[in-house]
Structure 1
Amino acid sequence: MSLHNFLYGIYPYIALTVFLLGSWLRFDREQYTWKSDSSQLLSKANMRLGSNLFHIGIIAIFFGHAVGLLTPHSVFKALGVSDMAHQMIAIWAGSIFGGMCLVGGAILWLRRIFNRRVSATSRGSDKFILTWLLITLIIGLSTIPVSISHANHNNPGVMIALAEWVQSIIYLHPDPSLLNGVDTIFKVHLFFGMTVFLVFPFTRMVHVWSAPFGYINRPYQIVRSKRFR
């Protein structure tokens, strides 16, 4: 078996299995670690700006990828969205929200690495996952000039191939050959993106699972000052 077939035919299922099973096991066995470990009390400098930009950007990118890659091609056609219009929407949305995420992520990364108080209380996994996400994001942004070049040549073929490959994985009939003609930068981005799912259960990112369910009605955090002790 070639490395290409392994990375884009088997590795996605390894990553998704660890993602789902690992998240469930962590919730079942280590609920005290199921948290975001906020460091705001240690240092508020640029925390809100960086966090807001990062989270808005990454949420928009996630749902943009989900809709763009998982929606069948026929559905876009039925809605009157041409292939080139679809590609231009992806380019503009990726540029805007990717830029927001990159700025916010860079602020958070610099804070976590170079702020002594925050860095001292950070786990290795905290620094690793933020670094990995930023690398994944930078590679993703690097695909935009390539996509623009494809658009200038009126060629949506790579975008369609990527969507068909993702759908082949989801529908359990993986077809790595769909990526044979895809630019290398997209394949590297796919590998880094899949690895995010692989390491997800072992990082603070697991608190994302709680966002749709527990965040709206969560209680306030009570913080007592030392002077009142």
Structure 2
Amino acid sequence: MIPMTPTDAGHAVDAVAPTALDHILWGVFPYVVLAVLVGGLVWRYRYDKFGWTTRSSQLYESRLLRIASPMFHFGLLVVIIGHVAGLLIPKSWTEAMGVTEDMYHFMALSLGTVAGVCTLGGIVLLIWRRRTNGPVFSATTVNDKVMYLVLVMAILAGLATTLLSAGADLTGGHGHDYRETVSVWFRSIWILRPDVAAMAASTFAFKLHVMVGLTLFMLFPFTRLVHAFSAPVQYPFRPYVVYRTRDQHPNRSERVVRRGWEG
């Protein structure tokens, strides 16, 4: 009989003895990522405020951008909400609210698939636009190419975990329940007690998805993705823009004022 290890309010997963590599990947690397993320954001804000931008290429091409950008961003928004709900809300809480495992699984698979496909379709269109449009491609840096590569890998890895879970359901089995492994490990990081054993018990697909995701967050401060941390806080308090007409109204004054650049 395989021994079981409790993870989340009475739920259990198959116990797996963590290796030295597991301790490095799931016990040390997350804190390295956090240090680089926070330190990189502080450095970028202090020394590269002018570069804290998306470097928009809408001026070069806007027709395809109007389709691809909303598709990518709205799909990504749903993906982020799903990740926050799945990683931060314990399984016992959703069960206490009357959400059964089948209900949660159905919502996660259906919304996750739709959001993942939209996000992937949006990023593919954005890459196609960037590659086929001359001025846009000329404005693409090596930094952008690396960012796109890691971002696409993260999306594909996330879709793979969703499709594998859906495939297990179709064949009458049960997909891997990440809320008993990945979610437990994720929450343990923030209390400085990483549950390496919980992450070690996860499947290879989820481990790959998490590793690519951590790499993406480590690159975040040094790419155009940094604009995600921007917020128009000062917008409501901005000064008014004063407009002055150039029309002359002789009835207001008998003297015509000549501008300095006029002969």
Does 1:137 pair with 2:167?
no
Match of 1:182 among 195, 202, 208: 202
- Determine which structure has the larger helix proportion and give its number: 1
Structure 2 CA distance for aligned equivalents of residues 214 and 133 of structure 1: 30
Describe the shift of the 1:155–1:98 C-alpha distance in structure 2 as closer, same or farther (beyond 3 A): closer
Kindly indicate whether residue 81 of structure 2 is the aligned counterpart of residue 83 of structure 1: no
Query: Could you tell me the TM-score, scaled by structure 2's length?
Result: 0.77
| More divergent stretch after superposition (203-212 vs 192-201) | 203-212
Distance 1:140 1:41, change over 3 A: same
- Residue 173 of structure 1 corresponds to which residue in structure 2? 193
Q: How far off is 1:77 after superposition?
A: 1.8
CA contact (8 A) 1:136 1:193 kept: yes
1:26 corresponding residue in structure 2: 44
Offset of residue 64 of structure 1: 1.2
Query: Separation in 2 of the partners of 1:187 and 1:5?
Result: 13
Which deviations, in whole Å up to 9, do the C-alpha atoms of 1:148-205 show, x marking residues without a partner?
Answer: 2454424664432121111111222101111233221110010000111100000011
For residue 191 of structure 1, what is the aligned residue in structure 2?
211
1:92 to 110, 117, 141: 110
Match in the other structure for 1:117: 135
CA RMSD in angstroms comes to 2.1
**What does residue 247 of structure 2 align with?**
none
Give aligned-pair identity as a percent.
Answer: 32
Please say if residues 158 and 181 of structure 1, whose CA atoms lie closer than 8 Å, have aligned partners that are also in contact.
no
Partner residue, 2:222 = 202
| Residue aligned with 1:8, SS | helix
Are positions 1:161 and 2:181 aligned together? yes
2:20 counterpart residue number = 2
Q: How far off is 1:110 after superposition?
A: 1.2
- Structure 1 residues without counterparts, runs of 5 or longer: 220-229
Separation in 2, partners of 1:65, 1:217: 34
- 2 CA distance for matches of 1:55 and 1:5? 34
Contact 2:116 2:159 in 1 (8 A): yes
Letter in 2 for 1:121: A
Q: Are 2:90 and 1:69 aligned? A: no
Query: What is the deviation of 1:128?
Result: 1.7
Given that 1:87 and 1:159 are in contact with CA atoms closer than 8 Å, whether structure 2 keeps it comes out as: no
Q: 2: CA distance between counterparts of 1:170 and 1:83?
A: 26
The one-letter code of the counterpart of 1:163 is: S
Contact 2:131 2:137 survives alignment (8 Å): yes
2: CA distance, partners of 1:99 / 1:212: 29
TM-score (norm: length of structure 1) = 0.87
Query: What amino acid does structure 1 have at the position aligned with 2:207?
Result: K
Q: Compute the displacement of 1:65 (Å).
A: 0.1
1:122 Cα deviation after fit: 1.6
Equivalent position of 1:37 in the other structure:
55
Contact 1:113 1:127 in 2 (8 A): no
Q: Deviations over 1:21-74 (max 9, x none)?
A: 211221111100111110010112311110000011112111210121111222
